[in-house]
Amino acid sequence: MCDISPSWVTVNLGAQSYRICVGPGVLSDSASYANLPGAGLAAIVTNPTVAALYGEKLQRRLASHYANVLLIELPEGEEHKNYVTMEKIFDRLLRANGDRSTTLFALGGGVIGDITGFAAACFMRGVPYVQVPTTLLAQVDSSVGGKTAVNHPLGKNMIGAFYQPRRVIVDLDTLNSLPKRELVAGLAEIIKYGPVSDQGFLEWIERNLDALLSRDEATLAYAVTRACEIKASIVEEDEHEAGRRAILNFGHTFGHAIETGLGFGAWLHGEAVGCGMVIAASLSANLGLISERQAARVIALISRAGLPTKVPEISTDRMLELMRLDKKSQAGDLRFVLLDGVAKAAVYPAPIGAVVRAIDQHR
């Protein structure tokens, strides 16, 4: 454990406001759990790998707050992020006589966070939940903002709800056990914030990418905290993604098509988003929204991070078919988050020919 003090970031959403605690060792710190809603039953939802590392530690910490603490292990991987898996949570809660005060703790990566959040939104028509993300991607993106969902065979995150957590507890020490591939995948969501919103942060990432890849503690602490601050500010402005929040989906329309087309779990979410950002940057330049030089800068950073920059073996027709199911599409017309200036982005329609060209540029 390093000597970095925890940082607190507030997501201001009126009655739904909550705080994000970022720092090393905060999983075991009683301050992380102060003022959470009381209940007789708490349930930690996790997977076997994370349970072996942190499940008992979180159970011990929660034992002083709750009379009964369940540990619910779900199968691991994006391919299990579906309604059938979510029902396992409901089964355990009902057998344990869970009620409207029951509190869920999502201990794991984005899959666990999304499925637990959606289960919390549904159980008893809504119970409290807390995000305890253990992957870099979840810490900087999916644990913040209340987007919860499960996948459908026809598309990623198609069944879900906006449902805010009561707190997000980001223990940076969990990144020490993260496989290199997962760390790199998380960098995709960190990189995203620069081109769409914060030029200074983009420049900082370019200067500090090697330190991030080597897991320098102070560098990771700053990156995670700053990413949470940027996302919090955007969510505060547009909680339900009716406007500006959509810019956080930069690269995601292409990325989700890659994930679905390959089969959930073949590529990590961050890997697919990284490749999606490459295609979206090229599409932005092809439409004249940014210069070729600006696009090349984004693509070079994604490549330096070790993320995929080549479209996998999915036909262009199949990708177009899947992208028409994207939540930004309107009446079947494709719409994308594209870069349209320095640290600026917006949702634009795009002609099929331009989309095909951008995909083919990265075959």
Shared-domain flag, residues 69 and 165: yes
Q: Establish if 165 belongs to a structural domain.
A: yes
Q: Which one is catalytic: 249, 259, 271, 286?
A: 249
Selecting among 252, 271, 286, 328, the annotated active-site residue is: 252
Would you say how long the chain is, in residues?
Answer: 363
Is 226 among the catalytic positions? no
Same domain membership, residue 356 and residue 242: yes
Last residue of a domain, one of 124, 151, 177: 177
Residues 200 and 60 in one domain: no
Told to judge if 252 belongs to the known catalytic residues of this protein, a careful annotator would answer yes
* 65 among known catalytic residues: no
One domain for residues 253 and 354: yes
Note if 87 is an active site residue.
no
Q: Is residue 182 part of a domain?
A: no
* DSSP element (H, E) containing 28: none
Considering the chain, what percentage of its residues have pLDDT values greater than 90?
A: 94
| Residue ranges making up the domain that contains 232 | 194-360
Residue 312 pLDDT > 90: yes
Instruction: Taking residues 355-362, report their average pLDDT.
Output: 97
| pLDDT score at 2 | 52
Catalytic residue among 151, 231, 271, 328: 231
Each residue's pLDDT tens digit, 156-180:
999 999 999 999 999 999 999 999 9
Whether 48 is covered by a domain: the verdict is yes
Same domain, 345 and 260: yes
Burial 64-84 (b: 16+ CB within 10 A, else e): ebbeebbbbbbebebebbbee
CATH assignment of the domain containing 273: 1.20.1090.10
Answer whether 251's CB lies under 8 Å from 280's CB.
yes
The model carries a pTM of 0.95
pLDDT at 327: 74
Alpha carbons 258 and 313: distance in angstroms, whole number: 9
**Is 147 one of the catalytic residues?**
yes
| pLDDT score, position 325 | 86
Interatomic CA distance for residues 149 and 355, integer angstroms: 27
In the chain, the number of structural domains is 2
Active site residue 241: yes
Indicate whether 205 and 309 sit together in one domain.
Answer: yes
Last residue of a domain, one of 151, 177, 203: 177
Q: Indicate which residue of 81, 156, 226, 256 is catalytic.
A: 256
Q: Do 161 and 302 lie in a common domain?
A: no
Is there a catalytic annotation at residue 231? yes
Q: pLDDT digits over 256-267, tens only? A: 999 999 999 999
- For residue 103, the model assigns a pLDDT of 97
- Active-site position among 189, 229, 239, 271: 189
> Cα-Cα-Cα-Cα dihedral of 100, 103, 108, 111, to 10°?
10
Is residue 152 among the annotated active site residues? Answer: no
Give dist(CA 281, CA 291) in Å, integer. 10
pLDDT in tens, 107-129: 999 999 999 999 999 999 999 99
Active site residue 78: no
CATH label of the domain that carries residue 26: 3.40.50.1970
- Same domain membership, residue 215 and residue 137: no
Based on the fold, state whether residues 135 and 214 are members of the same structural domain: no
Considering the domain boundaries, does residue 186 fall inside one? no
**Of 73, 76, 239, 241, which one is the catalytic site residue?**
241
Least Cα distance to 53 among 5, 112, 99 occurs for 112
What is the average pLDDT score of the chain? 96
* Residues 131 and 213 reside in one and the same domain: no
Q: Which of 81, 269, 271, 286 is catalytic?
A: 269
